[in-house]
Amino acid sequence: MVIDNLIHQIIDAPLNIIIPYAIAFLVLLIASYTDLKTREVPDWVNFGLIGIGFGVNLLFSIIFFKINFIIASVVGFAVFFALAWIMFYTGQWGGGDSKILMGLGAVIGIDIFSNNFFLVHFLINALLVGALYGILWSIFYIFKNKKKFSRNFKKSINSKKTKLAKKFLLVLFIILVLLAILVPDKFVRLMILYLALISIITFYLWVAIKAVENACMLKYVTPKQLTEGDWIAKDVKINGKYITGPKDLGIEKKKINKLTALYKKGKVKKILIKEGIPFVPSFFIAYIVTLIYGNLVFFML
């Protein structure tokens, strides 16, 4: 029934709606395939979507004599650029993830003059889908690398810092439970007990995520195997001079060439990199979910 309604909406929709949404669907599909296969999205896909987004909406503004289309495109790009910048520089997303969202903002846009907030609903869905998607990938990595994960988890949970954190968490848990017993209001008591439980779960989940990262997402490669945007997990220094490292937030082509030259001279061996989860497919899933159901929060309520 929902699919039938979606099909009817697509058939009845004007071209200025069908074309941008179809372009976004196609590009997200291609980007998801490349991200799963090579763990990166080519720049021609990302920048192509941004260019097409601005171009199509500028064309619509000229054809329909309405500036709304290009303004919506600029606003959409600006909003997603700001979001992508924050997520990239906090280490949550890679460059490909960030650029594909900017392109999505440019092609679909956020129309401040109407009630078309598709991208806002998409973003909310992307957060929900992304969380579930990340958990499923982590579970996959754990089963694929059981022994390595188990060793890293035990090592992390028994480290000095973690033991200290566990003692602090135990004291906090006891205080919250005692506070819940003393509070007469049932709702407040339930919330305090919920907070106590969540604090324990969050702690062990954090340790598990770090173990997954150390056991399953780190690997050594030669400079020739590096691709632009790879995350370097450990500082590379030659005679005390910094070449590259985690703070670079994705290695540049110039530094790859430098490392390759140093490798040929025997000054650099293998580089430790961090392989992230291919996250673009979660955007594609969230996009389809938004097309069919709209905002998932509203749908569930």
If you search the block for the tokens 């600006």, which residue do you land on?
78
Q: What does each C-alpha distance from 120 to 90, 193, 297 come to in angstroms? A: 21, 33, 12
Q: What does each C-alpha distance from 118 to 82, 108, 232, 291 come to in angstroms? A: 18, 8, 36, 8
Point out the domain boundary residue: 100, 116, 132: 116
Q: Quick one: which of 67, 211, 100, 217 has its CA closest to 152?
A: 211
Q: Is residue 53 part of a domain?
A: yes
41-44 long-range Cβ contacts below 8 angstroms, 24+ apart = 41/96, 41/97, 41/99, 41/100, 41/280, 43/99
Whether 76 and 90 map to the same domain: the answer is: yes
Q: Is residue 122 part of a domain?
A: no
- Residue 109 has a CB neighbour count (10 Å cut-off) of 28
Whether 25 and 74 map to the same domain: the answer is: yes
Whether 199 and 236 map to the same domain: the answer is: no
Q: Is residue 291 part of a domain?
A: no
Series of mean pLDDT values for 10-residue runs along the chain (301 residues): 50 72 94 86 88 93 90 92 78 73 91 77 86 84 83 83 83 87 82 82 79 77 77 80 76 82 82 80 92 76 56
Q: Dig out the tokens for 106 from the structure.
A: 């440019």
Confidence (pLDDT) at 2: 47
Count up the domains in the chain and report the number: 3
Whether 261 and 191 map to the same domain: the answer is: no
The residue range of the domain holding 243 is: 219-274
Confidence (pLDDT) at 300: 64
Q: Is residue 65 part of a domain?
A: yes
Confidence (pLDDT) at 85: 82
